[in-house]
Chains A and B, each alone.
Chain A
Amino acid sequence: MSVEPVSCTIKSPVALQIGDTVSDLSRPGVYITDITLAEPVNIQEISFKNYYTAYLTVRVQQREDGSVKWVTCLRNHCLMANPHAEAGSHDYFSIYRQQDTEWDVPAWLSTLTPVETSLDLKGLPDPETVSSSIQQMWALTEIMQASQNAASIGRFDVDGSYDVKLLSYM
């Protein structure tokens, strides 16, 4: 499937601020840029060059069976890691249709016991004490393993008889 550019009209950015535009002199933090397409089309990709925008939200107006609704495709997508620094301020960006802004939730997170379920601990050892000891045992094993990774076991020198310059037939 080839990707072709679509002609569109890009309006100049409008500041989003509360109050009267004329009397309120403070500079706003949010600007809205309207992009109008000549005809409805399935957008696959949006490419642009950034100019000091830190976060981007994309909303799309969808037309379904005569009704019109606004859908948020992308919310607060980070373009600049630090809004007050230069990184990313002039970069080129491409946003794709399948953009996944959610980070992968590790599998083990879902196995955590929910706080609400109360377990019957009558007659069982105190989990806090047991957990504390096990955590320390785990940490000690980690210390040992970490020291092993750092050290490289070199060749053993067999008591001076293995000297390159001096062959010993002992």
Chain B
Amino acid sequence: MAEKRRSGPVMSDPKAAKCETDHEFLSQSGVSALLRGALLKLVESRSEDPIGFLAEHFGHLSSEVDDGGSENLTVSRSLWHLSLSHHSQRSAFNNNVRVAYELLTQSAPRRRRTGGVRGVVYTEVLRCLCSEGGLSGASAAPLLQCIQCHDYEAVPFELFRQGVLTCSVFADYIRKSQCLYAAVARAPDRPAERALCQAVLATLQEALETADGPDVARYLEASAKISPAKLAQAMAEARPPSQQQEGPTMDAQEFEDAAAALFIARVRKVT
């Protein structure tokens, strides 16, 4: 590896010269800032593979330095940034969304660099986010239909952030609905009873439809509707213990689609 040599007066004391050179070298080249940034990202993401994470991080940084990467590469780099933190880590998530947004806007050809991220790129990012979040194409399609925009349109930052957040939250929501189905089914090899599924989803829908008002009052009212006692009551009414035979069942996909519909009904369609 070629070593950079400092051009300047030669110091009389070799030992002191070496220390100064090392220290100045680190600050001049910006390595200490680089390392600090890398460690900060690592701590934010709490990766299980720190070395792999750092390798990816520096790999992305070096390719970002070479200007004019292909658009696919830019999309994958911005997706990597978006994967660094969970949406619940609010400030880290917002920072990463900002970095991803800047990447995507700067990668566009100069004459088209106005207004925000190109619609086709935005849609691609959202689609990849959904699939990385474990959503199948069929599960993600209704959501994407709501929030994607035309290929030629330009997406400003706030809308970009909102779309990214919605996809991340939706992925978590679907995962939770799968856990919910498993809880209602009570056994992994048996489908859940339709009456119970419908009762459980109905309580969620009722909580979601809590009337507008002061936040605190709304939260209290909604949480009262989905308390364990309320659910026990709803389930007992849907399937009385006296009923010996098991009624019709609902499979996991149908349950997931019904739960997804409740979420997507509340997503504001982008117009």
Shortest CB–CB separation between residue B96 and chain A, in angstroms?
15
Contact B263 A141 (CB under 8 A): yes
Contact B200 A134 (CB under 8 A): yes
Of B25-33, B76-84, B233-241, the one contacting chain A is B233-241
Write the chain B residue with the least CB distance to A121: B232
Contact B239 A159 (CB under 8 A): no
Q: Which of A130, A147, A159 contacts B231 (CB 8 A)?
A: A130
List chain A residues, Cβ under 8 A from B158. Answer: 151-154
How distant is the Cα of A156 from the Cα of B122 in the complex, in angstroms? 13
Contact B183 A133 (CB under 8 A): yes
Q: How large is the interface on B (under 10, 10 to 19, 20 to 34, 35 or more residues)?
A: 35 or more
User: A48 at the A/B interface (Cβ < 8 Å)?
Assistant: no
Contact B112 A160 (CB under 8 A): yes
Q: Mark B214-236, 1 if CB is under 8 A from A, else 0.
A: 00010011111111111111011
Contact A158 B154 (CB under 8 A): yes
User: B87 at the A/B interface (Cβ < 8 Å)?
Assistant: yes
List chain B residues, Cβ under 8 A from A121. Answer: 232, 235-236
Q: Which of A123, A124, A134, A144 contacts B232 (CB 8 A)?
A: A124
Q: Mark A135-157, 1 if CB is under 8 A from B, else 0.
A: 11110110111011001111011
Q: Mark B101-119, 1 if CB is under 8 A from A, else 0.
A: 0000000000111111011
User: B270 at the A/B interface (Cβ < 8 Å)?
Assistant: yes
How distant is the Cα of A128 from the Cα of B179 in the complex, in angstroms? 13
Contact A124 B235 (CB under 8 A): yes
Contact A151 B161 (CB under 8 A): yes
**What are 9 pairs between A and B in contact, CB < 8 Å?**
A112-B230, A125-B184, A131-B227, A133-B179, A140-B169, A143-B165, A153-B158, A153-B271, A157-B116
Could you list which residues of chain A lie within 8 angstroms of chain B, going by C-beta atoms? 106, 108-109, 111-113, 115, 119-131, 133-138, 140-141, 143-145, 147-148, 151-154, 156-160, 163
